[in-house]
Amino acid sequence: MPPPDNRPPTLGLVLAFAAVYLVWGSTYLAIRFAIQTIPPFLMAGIRFTCAGTVLYGWCRLRAVPRPTARHWMSALIVGGFMLAAGNGLVVWAEQRVPSGIAALIVATTPFWMVLLDWWWRDAPRPNVAVVGGLLIGFAGVALLVNPWEAHATTVDAAGTLALLCSALFWAFGSIYSLEASKPASPLLFTATAMLCGGAILLLVGTASGEWARLDPLSITRRSLLAVVYLIVFGSLITYSAYVWLLRVSTPARVATTGYVNPVVAVLLGWLLGGEGLSSRTLLATAVIIAAVALITSVRSRQRDRPAVSPSLLERPTGRMNP
């Protein structure tokens, strides 16, 4: 009698990869639409609080044990760095930087993760190929932000700095989560991190006076639909697909989302958001994605210790999602 076939269904793999490729790539444009009429930190706080509440309730309905106090502390740190700081800076920066450009700059997350993993967790020293990938990637960012052509349009400096810091904070939270005390259920830990990160974002929005700037009557249908899209597809459905792929596919294949998402974001920003698509942007896109692919492929072959988990939400470059 032949052994049972435990391979995942082909259709399931196709749908799951389509979700993490397309939906996560589209979240940058959805953020841009959402913050057009909703203050950024309140929008992000509402998004993650709602998604975390739904996911936490789902886990409890399935009799998943409640998180302990130590688990909540880990969730507070991870959610604080990855969602409150990481995603919060993305939504703030997208007031100043086009969504496609934001996705490209955030694609530098694996660079920070490699450096932090080496410096903090005593991982093997980056070899020549990894160092080359790091240099190529940052050269791509430099090309994007500081073009050499005279009179060329530059990317907002404050927005760029915020996005680079976002990638660094997301990488820090990702590295920290590897050693943190966590519940056995990855979905429960994600839910608690969302709740903590969402609560911090709501506090930041309150402290910065965003409630006074929030006019419910001026919120457009597009902004509301974008928030719903971010909650349901960007944070719930797609992350569930991502967690499933981590179990049934290989790390190298799942890591490809890290260099597909920015391409999707750039194209959608051009097609649906009216964002410019210059030859310089296309060249920078190719350079940054090539660097991410090089680093990801080398690290996946050399990895002899637990992998640096990308994100908890929107971005397998090290993100839960933007």
Taken in order 65, 238, 137, 299, the sign of the CA dihedral is: positive
Query: What dihedral angle (degrees, nearest 10) is formed by the CA atoms of 130, 134, 137, 138?
Result: -170
Q: Is residue 10 part of a domain?
A: no
Per the CB < 8 A criterion, the answer to whether 294 and 132 are in contact is: yes
| 7 found inside a domain | no
CB 241 within 8 A of CB 20: yes
Supply the pLDDT for residue 229. 97
Could you tell me if residue 135 is inside a domain?
yes
Do 316 and 255 contact (CB within 8 A), yes or no?
yes
In a domain, 145, yes or no: yes
Sign, CA dihedral 181-186-191-194, equals: positive
Query: Would you say residue 287 lies in a domain?
Result: yes
103-133 exposure pattern, b = at least 16 Cβ within 10 A, e = fewer: bbbbbbbbbbbbbbbeeeeebeebeeebeeb
In a domain, 8, yes or no: no
pLDDT at 250: 64
Domain span at residue 230 reads: 20-320
How many structural domains does the chain have? 1
- Per-residue pLDDT, 162: 95
- Quote the pTM value: 0.83
pLDDT along the chain (322 residues), means of 10: 56 83 91 97 97 95 95 96 95 94 84 78 74 79 62 73 92 86 91 96 97 94 97 89 74 68 87 82 81 71 48 44 64
